Amino acid sequence: MTTRPELWGVLNVTPDSFSDGGRFVDPEAALAQGLRMVAEGASVIDVGGESTRPGAEPVAPEVERERVLPVVAALVAQGIRVSIDTMNASTAAAAVEAGAAIVNDVSGGLADPAMLETVAGLGSQYVIMHWRGPSETWDAVSDYAWAPQDVTNELMGRWHAALEAGVQPERLWVDPGLGFAKRSEHNWQLLAELGTLRSIGARVLVGASRKRFLGALLPEGTPVDERDLLTAVVSALAADQVDALRVHDVRSSARALDVWQSIATAADSAPAYRASYVASPPLDRHARGDAITLTGLRAFAHHGVFDHERRDGQEFVIDVTARLDLRSAGSDDELASTVHYGVLAEQVVSAVEGDPVDLIETVAERVAAVVLSHGAVWQTEVTVHKPQAPITVPFADVSVTIVRGRS
Residue 347 belongs to domain with CATH number: 3.30.1130.10
Q: Specify whether the CB–CB gap between 68 and 95 falls below 8 A.
A: yes
Residue 56 confidence (pLDDT) above 80: no
Pairing of strands 82-85, 102-105: parallel
pLDDT at 274 over 70: no
Distance CA 64, CA 81 (A): 20
Q: Name the band, by pLDDT with cuts 50, 70 and 90, for residue 21.
A: low
Asked if residue 386 is part of any domain, the answer here is yes
Cα separation, 14 vs 21, whole angstroms: 6
Residues identified as active-site = 211, 246
What are residue 316's DSSP bridge partners? 299
- 258 and 313 co-located in one domain: no
Residue 266's pLDDT band (boundaries 50, 70, 90)?
confident
| Closest to 293 measured CA to CA, from 227, 382, 190, 399 | 382
**CA distances to 27, 168, 169 from 160, in Å:** 37, 10, 9
Quote the pLDDT of residue 10. 97
User: What is the number of structural domains in the chain?
Assistant: 2
Clarify whether residues 183 and 68 are in a common domain. Answer: yes
pLDDT at 256: 98
Q: How far apart, in whole angstroms, are the C-alpha atoms of residue 251 and residue 36?
A: 10
DSSP string, 52-87: -STTPPP--HHHHHHHHHHHHHHHHHTT--EEEE-S
Q: Which helix (H) or strand (E) holds 387?
A: none
In a domain, 274, yes or no: no
pLDDT in tens, 177-235: 999 999 999 999 999 999 889 888 899 999 999 999 999 999 999 999 999 999 999 99
Res. 287: pLDDT tops 70: no
Residue 343: pLDDT above 50? Answer: yes
Residue 219 shares a structural domain with residue 363: no
Are 233 and 312 members of one domain?
no
- Residue-range definition of the domain harbouring residue 147: 6-266
At residue 336, the pLDDT reads 79
